């Protein structure tokens, strides 16, 4: 071993609700977990404002504050939390090898992957500037804040259709912006959108700009066929064009689906490799909620503890 190599019992990669919950359970089980947080310590919730749907916070809490609570709880039980990014892995033999920031080598008996997924964005400056001030990538998380108002949603897949229908139950009107003259969504979801009276679909349309100085006040769209621009007054702008799981560094060893989500065994966080477990949005493309991520983080730690015990690792 060189000076940069460290041998550890349980390594957790990622620091959102899944990673921190795995850390709490692993630390309480005396697995002496070491966590590398990734570049965004706390994960996607660091980019959110009010979180009102996580149990135990009756008056709501800011996303970054909630992640600080998770962090303190993980540290309280002895988790060694370090800032660093997993840049390379070698899972071809045991112990599992993980390189941090391109130089430090960690060899771990068990590895819990909790690197999450990132929402895909349109890439326009006004969208970034107003993110958290009316711009959102999660209707289920933030739709309630726009109850009784008009909102816009951009996207054409099943998720966009589902979120448009969800918003239609809360908002007076949902303006759905679709890039082509048809949706990618399944036929049944398309029919539901068309049959929902307060959803208006704008075909062949692109978002030109999200309007507003401090909060979203409207969205300007452009028709790709005619070039005509239309400004729609809305209070919320939802982007539903998909998510990108942060799985690239693991793909040579861990099985993923065609979108890059890590495949785990049914009702489990086990991957195709012994001693490697995946939890949170890295393997969940359906629910993508903090509470479900935390639940799978708990599962991953319990399964890692059981696996380590069965294999006789101390």
Catalytic residue numbers read 138, 141-142
Which two structure tokens, joined as six digits, stand for 98?
């993980």
Q: Kindly write down the DSSP assignment for every residue of the chain, as one continuous string.
A: --TTEEEEEEEEE--SHHHHHHHHHHHHTT---EEE--SSTTGGGGG--EE-SSTT-TT-EEHHHHHHHHHHHHHHTT-EEE---EEEEE-SSSSEEEEETTTEEEEEEEEEE---EEE-----HHHHHTBTTTEES-HHHHGGGGTTSEEEEE--SHHHHHHHHHHHTTSSEEEEE-SSSS-SS-HHHHHHHHH-TTEEEE-SEEEEEEE-SSS--EEEEEETTT--EEEE--SEEEE-S-EEES-GGGTTTS-B-TTSPBP--TTS-B-SSTTEEE-GGGT-SS---HHHHHHHHHHHHHHHHHHHHHHT--
Taking a C-beta distance cutoff of 8 angstroms, is the pair 271, 279 a contact? no
């Amino acid at each position: 071993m060189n000076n940069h190599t460290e041998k550890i019992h349980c390594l957790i990669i990622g620091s959102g609700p899944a990673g921190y919950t795995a850390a709490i359970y692993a630390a309480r089980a005396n697995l002496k977990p070491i966590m590398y947080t990734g570049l965004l310590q706390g994960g996607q919730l660091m980019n959110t404002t009010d979180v009102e749907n996580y149990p135990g916070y009756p008056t709501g809490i800011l996303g970054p504050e909630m992640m600080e609570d998770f962090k303190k709880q993980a540290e309280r039980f002895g988790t060694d939390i370090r800032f660093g990014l997993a840049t390379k892995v070698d899972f071809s033999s045991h112990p599992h090898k993980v390189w941090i920031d391109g130089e430090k080598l960690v060899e771990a008996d068990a590895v819990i992957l909790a690197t999450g997924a990132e929402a895909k964005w349109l890439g326009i400056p006004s969208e970034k500037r107003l993110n958290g001030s009316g711009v959102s990538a999660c209707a289920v998380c933030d739709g309630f804040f726009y109850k009784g108002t008009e909102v816009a949603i951009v996207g054409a897949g099943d998720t966009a259709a589902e979120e448009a229908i969800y918003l239609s139950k809360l908002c007076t009107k949902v303006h759905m912006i679709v890039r082509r003259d048809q949706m990618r969504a399944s036929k049944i979801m398309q029919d539901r959108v068309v049959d929902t009276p307060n959803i208006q679909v704008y075909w062949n349309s692109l978002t030109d700009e999200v309007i507003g100085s401090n909060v979203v006040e409207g969205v300007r769209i452009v028709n790709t066929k005619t070039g005509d621009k239309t400004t729609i007054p809305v209070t919320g702008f939802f982007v539903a064009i998909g998510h990108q799981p942060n799985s690239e560094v693991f793909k040579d060893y861990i099985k993923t689906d065609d979108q890059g989500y890590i495949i785990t065994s049914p009702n489990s966080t086990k991957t195709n490799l012994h001693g490697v477990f995946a939890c949170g949005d890295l393997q969940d493309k359906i629910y993508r909620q903090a509470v479900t991520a935390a639940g799978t983080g708990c599962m991953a730690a319990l399964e890692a503890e059981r696996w380590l015990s069965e294999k006789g690792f101390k």
